[in-house]
Chains A and B, each alone.
Chain A
């Protein structure tokens, strides 16, 4: 007679809040922060379309301490999102073989991070130059 009676332990509902999954959860929540920042930019566009008064009140909101604190928080989240996504970038790419040897994943992460930092610096420089010129 078979005595099989497999017992499946339920997955804890709060698995995402505990190590080792917590870092993953924070990475994904930083994506929500990016969406919030996108919504703030979109609100600016809507205010611009509504006229000068609406855009001035939008600018006043941007200059408020609450807005500055929020933007600092969003910047930190965006930077963390970038760092962690480039960490898992090699997991999403095909294996790169160079002269018969696999390219190390750490090298892919470093190259992508450098490229992102380079682009950000170039964009910042462009904004400064255009701002000074106009």
Chain B
């Protein structure tokens, strides 16, 4: 059995930024004692508790469920809670806030724009035909659920946005995470909101900024495959464009 209690130290180079005193971010270096079972998040907590109480970072669940502790670790978007120092030893380990997002302070980035994008795609089931409670529940077979289940695993950690060069080039691009959530609802057999969502994603800032780089799916910690969601909706959006004339005729 390897001794997991033996402690040695590892260097963490952390990008620091304090809006009230700094003109731009700069790296600060910390030597942290660590053991084999220690995550990057635990190292940050250790720094905050013993070395520098002003270090700012987000975290909550410590088990890759809440999606709060996304950051760039050695240049890759990762969850700090399921990235282990033993895999990065002997270091130094570079820790930066998520790429492509404005930095609020240290490792904390602005999430308002992302939240607006999530809200814009109607992230809830819009029933085709509303039912009353007396009429019973909306039923679904296991196969119908399988069609969207993987997209429902998204934890809004924004790693896919940090990996996406097209989002970096065009921050108005709706991006992979919102598209995964859109696909979760639009491919739900109980949902009737497909048209409303398609109206939100046409054009350059919608689905068409994607050039199928595919890194979003590679960095996803929950195997949600947002690249698949984006590209399925390119097809849906193109079909919608060609059918839009027919649809208007049928409405009037």
Contact = CB atoms under 8 A, between A and B. Distances in A.
Nearest to A5: B19
A93 B232 contact: yes
Interface residues of A, number: 25
Contacts of A9: 25, 99, 103
A50 interface: no
A108 B76 CA distance: 28
B208 interface: no
A7 B232 contact: no
A88 B25 CA distance: 37
A20 interface: yes
A101 B146 contact: yes
Interface of A: 3-9, 11, 15-16, 20-21, 24, 28, 88, 90-95, 97, 100-102
B168 interface: yes
Nearest to A98: B143
A71 B165 CA distance: 32
Contacts of A21: 165, 213, 215
Contact of B169 (A6, A11, A90): A11
B17 interface: yes
Interface residues on B, range: 35 or more
A9 to B, nearest CB: 7
A95 B96 CA distance: 35
B246 to A, nearest CB: 22
Contacts of A92: 212, 228, 231-232, 234-235
Contacts of A3: 19-20
B225 A91 contact: yes
17 contacts: A6-B102, A6-B104, A7-B103, A9-B99, A15-B165, A20-B163, A24-B214, A88-B212, A91-B212, A91-B225, A92-B235, A93-B231, A94-B235, A95-B187, A97-B147, A100-B143, A100-B146
Contacts of B169: 11
Contact of A91 (B110, B211, B231): B231
Interface of B: 17, 19-20, 24-25, 76, 99-104, 110, 142-143, 146-148, 150, 163, 165, 168-169, 187, 211-215, 217-218, 225, 227-228, 231-232, 234-235
A95 to B, nearest CB: 5
A94 B101 CA distance: 30
Contact of B214 (A4, A88, A97): A88
Given A4-B104, A9-B103, A21-B215, 13 more contacts: A6-B19, A7-B24, A11-B165, A24-B213, A24-B214, A91-B217, A92-B228, A92-B235, A93-B232, A97-B143, A97-B146, A100-B142, A100-B146
A21 to B, nearest CB: 6
A20 B215 contact: yes
A100 B141 CA distance: 9
B190 to A, nearest CB: 16
A90 B19 contact: no
B123 to A, nearest CB: 19
B25 A6 contact: no
Contacts of B163: 20
Contacts of A6: 19, 102-104, 110
B182 to A, nearest CB: 14
Nearest to B183: A95
Contacts of B148: 95
